[in-house]
Amino acid sequence: MLTRATRPTSSWMSTADWSDALVMRVRVTDLLVLLWVVFGTQIGWLGIDRTATGFSGSRDDIAISYTVLSLVIVVSWMIALELYDTRSPRVLGVGTAEYKAIADGAVRLFGLVAIVAFLFKVDVARGYVLIAFPLGLLVLLLSRWMWRQWLGMVRRRGGLTTRVLLIGSEQSVRTIGRSLVRMPEAGYQVVGVCVPGGSGETLEGTTIPAVRTFANPLAVMRDFGADTIVITSADELGPERVRELSWGLTPGAEHLVVAPSLIDIGGPRIHTRPVAGLPLMHVETPRFEGRKLVAKRVFDLVMGGALVAVLSPMLVGVAIAVKLSSPGPVFFRQMRVGKGGRPFQMLKFRSMRDGADAELAALLREQGAGDTPLFKVKEDPRITPVGRILRKYSLDEFPQLFNVLGGSMSLVGPRPQVPAEVELYDRGAHRRLLVQPGMTGLWQVSGRSALSWEEAIRLDLYYVENWSLTGDLMIMIRTGRAVLVPGNQAK
C-alpha cells in the first residue's frame, strides 16, 4: 500500500543538495580506488623508479617515468568515468546502467592505452597494464556496490530521496505510485498526487494526500515540499499545459519527469529519439532467438560445467547426508513444465520423506491453498531435518546443474512449475514459457518464499521481457549472496 510521506523538516535536503554531495563523495572514492590500484600495481610489479622508453627505438628515445604514466592513467580513468556518466544521480544506486558504463569506460581506456603505446612505440610492461586495468575495474565495481548497499539502506529509511508529486488520471497515478513505492532504492518518495475530479482528501486505497484539480500544480508541488513532478498521463493536461508547466520549474532545483503508460520495461529496450519536436520513445520487442540465445547457452554450459567441477565434493557430501538421514532415494525427480510448455524431469536432492508427493493434495486442502499457483504448505511436516537445512541454503537445488548441462533448464530464468500450477496460468503468465526455466531467477533473489504469486509473476515477466547476459550475471551474484546469507525468507 502507498503510504503518506512526511512533510519536509528543517533537516530535509533537496535533490540538488544531496545529489551534489553524493556525486562528490563517489568521485572521491573513485579517485582513492584508482590511486590505490594503479600505483599499488606499479609498486608491486615494477617498483618506484622504473622508466619506460618510447618513440623510435634509437638513442634519442625518451624515458617515461612509470610514476608519471600511472598518474596519467588515473587522471584519464577519472575523466572516462565522468564522460561515461557513471556518477549521474539518475544511475547511482539502481539498475545495471551504472555498472555497464563503468565497464565500457575501462575497456575503451584500456584500448586507447594499447593503441597509444603501439603508435608511439612506448615499451610499457605488459604485466603492469594487464593487472592494473582488470583489478581497477573490479575494485571500482566493488566500491560502487558498497555505495549502492549504503544508499539503498538510507533510502529505505526515507533519506536521500527525490520528493515526487504525481499528476495524471487516478488509475495511472496509482499504478506508477505503487511501482515507485515497491522499489524505495530507486530514490523516489511520493508525497502527493494531483488527479482530476473525484472526492476524498487521499488517493483511493492509500494514505497519500490528493488534490482534485490541475489548476496550479506548481503551487501544489511546493506546498508538499516536492521538487519533482511526474506526469503519469497527459490527456487531462494537454501538450501546451505540460510545456508551460516545464517553463515554471526552477532550473536545476525542480524537475519534470514523464512516465509513459508502460511498466516493467528494461532500459536496454528503450530508445528516445526526438522527431519534429516530439520526444518519441522506441520500445524494442523482446527477442527469444538469435545470437543472444546462443551466447546464453554457451554461458550456461561453461558456467554450469565449472560449477559442477568446483562443487562436486560438496555434492557428494550432501548426497551421503541425504542417504544416511532418512530412507529413500538421494534424488527427487519431479515433472516440471519448461520452455514452450514442454515437460521435463527436474532433479533435486530429496529434502522430504519418501512418498511425500502423495500427501500434498490433502495438506493443501487442509490449508486452503490448492487453488492458487506457487503451491506452498506452511510448516510442511514432510520435510526431514537434513532437508530443512538443505532448503534454507538452497543446497537441494544444485542437482539442477545437470538439467542445465542437459539443456532442459538455464542457470537463470523463470522458476519451472508443475503442470497443475501451469493450468492455473492466465494469458500473461503463459509468457513465462517463452524462455528456458532457470535454477535461479529474479523473484528468487527478490523475496523467495515471502512473495505472493502476483509479485512472483510480475518479476518473472519482467525477466522474460528484458533478459540479458549482464542481468543474468547480476542475478547469479545476488543468488550467491542469498545462499550464503539466506535470511528469514528462505524455507
- The ranges assigned to domains in the chain are 15-156, 162-263, 291-484
Q: What is the reported pLDDT for 264?
A: 65
Residue 255, strand partner residues: 228
Q: Cell 519536436: give the residue.
A: 277
Q: Cell 533537496: give the residue.
A: 14
CB 143 within 8 A of CB 29: yes
Of the chain, the end-to-end C-alpha distance in Å amounts to 26
In angstroms, the CA 491 to CA 378 distance is 10
In angstroms, the CA 178 to CA 252 distance is 27
Q: What is the reported pLDDT for 4?
A: 42
3-state secondary structure of 253: coil
Phi and psi at residue 482, in whole multiples of 5°? -65, -35
Q: What is the reported pLDDT for 48?
A: 57
In angstroms, the CA 27 to CA 188 distance is 23
* Cβ burial 428-444 (10 Å sphere, 16+ → b, else e): ebebbbebbbbbbbbbb
3-state secondary structure of 65: strand
Q: What is the reported pLDDT for 6?
A: 46
- Give the count of beta carbons closer than 10 Å to the beta carbon of residue 87: 21
DSSP result, 257-323: EE--S--S--GGGEEEEEETTEEEEEEPPP--SSHHHHHHHHHHHHHHHHHHHHHHHHHHHHHHHHH
3-state secondary structure of 232: coil
In angstroms, the CA 24 to CA 33 distance is 14
Q: What is the reported pLDDT for 411?
A: 93
- Whether the pTM exceeds 0.75: the reply is no
Q: What is the reported pLDDT for 94?
A: 81
In angstroms, the CA 408 to CA 436 distance is 7
Please state the length of the chain.
491
> How many alpha carbons lie under 13 Å from residue 387 in its C-beta half-sphere?
22
Cell matching residue 286: 523482446
List, in order, residues 6 or more apart from 194 with CB less than 8 Å away: 165, 166, 167, 168, 210, 211, 213, 214, 217, 220
Q: What is the reported pLDDT for 59?
A: 44
Cell matching residue 22: 553524493
Q: What is the reported pLDDT for 474?
A: 84
Nearest CA to 357 among 443, 420, 423, 446?
A: 420
Nearest CA to 69 among 30, 93, 39?
A: 39
Angle at 186 between CA 180 and CA 188, to 5 degrees: 55
**Rounded to whole angstroms, what are the CA distances from 133 to 30, 32, 113, 141, 374?**
14, 15, 10, 12, 45
CB 163 within 8 A of CB 5: yes
Low-confidence residues in the chain, pLDDT < 50: 1, 3-11, 53-62
Q: What is the reported pLDDT for 300?
A: 92
Phi and psi at residue 341, in whole multiples of 5°? 80, 10
In angstroms, the CA 383 to CA 325 distance is 12
**Rounded to whole angstroms, what are the CA distances from 419 to 329, 336, 338, 372, 399?**
23, 6, 10, 13, 21
Residue 188, strand partner residues: 162
Query: Using one digit for the tens of pLDDT, what is the confidence trace for 57-71?
Result: 444 444 567 788 889
Q: What is the reported pLDDT for 64?
A: 62
CB 357 within 8 A of CB 363: no
- Burial group, residue 148, by CB count within 10 angstroms (0-12, 13-18, 19+): middle
Query: Using one digit for the tens of pLDDT, what is the confidence trace for 157-198?
Result: 888 888 999 988 888 888 888 888 888 888 888 888 888 876
Q: What is the reported pLDDT for 245?
A: 86
Nearest CA to 405 among 248, 312, 298?
A: 298
Q: What architecture does CATH give domain 162-263?
A: 3-Layer(aba) Sandwich (3.40)
Cell matching residue 439: 535454477
